[in-house]
Amino acid sequence: MAENRLNRELQTREKTGRKRAWTPPETLPSPLPQDGWNFYWVRISTRGEADAMNFSSKLREGWEPCKAIDHPEIHLVTVENDRYKDNIVIGGLMLCKAPSEMIEDRAEYYQNQTDAQIRSVDHSYMRESDPRMPMFNERKTKVTFGRGS
């Protein structure tokens, strides 16, 4: 046996591992996930001026401001505005939450809007097509295995 080897118990990954790189801290802390809820930072002010239009539109969409007592994992250093002292506000952004079902419905709505616009553009584009020289409009992909033909 070779005597110049280290004992297996003395070899650990921490000693041989790569030095961990420094990363800047996150600007907006993430709340602990909760089943059935999605979180979002809503702009309530820009450069010290209140942005009531944006905030009220988000409230109408269904976002609810989160209370600071409900999220003790987010440590606040200062209260930026006495009006929102019970909420979590950082840099003009307020933490809000909405039910996951609402978020899924909203995503479905916007996906339907996108699909309708794509169909409209395709229809308008293909209207210019001539049978003698058709325009290419294939949106399908094909996966083959083996020789392919």
The residue ranges of every structural domain in the chain are 31-99
Q: Do residues 66 and 84 touch, judged by C-beta distance below 8 A?
A: no
What is the reported pLDDT for 86? 84
Bigger pLDDT: 137 or 72?
A: 72
Distance of alpha carbon 30 from alpha carbon 32, whole angstroms: 7
Identify the band that residue 143 occupies on the pLDDT scale cut at 50, 70 and 90. Answer: confident
DSSP H helices, 5-99, are 13-16, 52-61
Quote the pTM value: 0.63
Secondary structure of residue 19 in the 3-state scheme = coil
Q: How many residues does the chain have?
A: 149
Q: Is the pLDDT of residue 77 over 70?
A: no
At residue 52, what are phi and psi to the nearest 5 degrees? -65, -35
Distance of alpha carbon 124 from alpha carbon 28, whole angstroms: 44
- Percentage of the chain with pLDDT > 70? 79
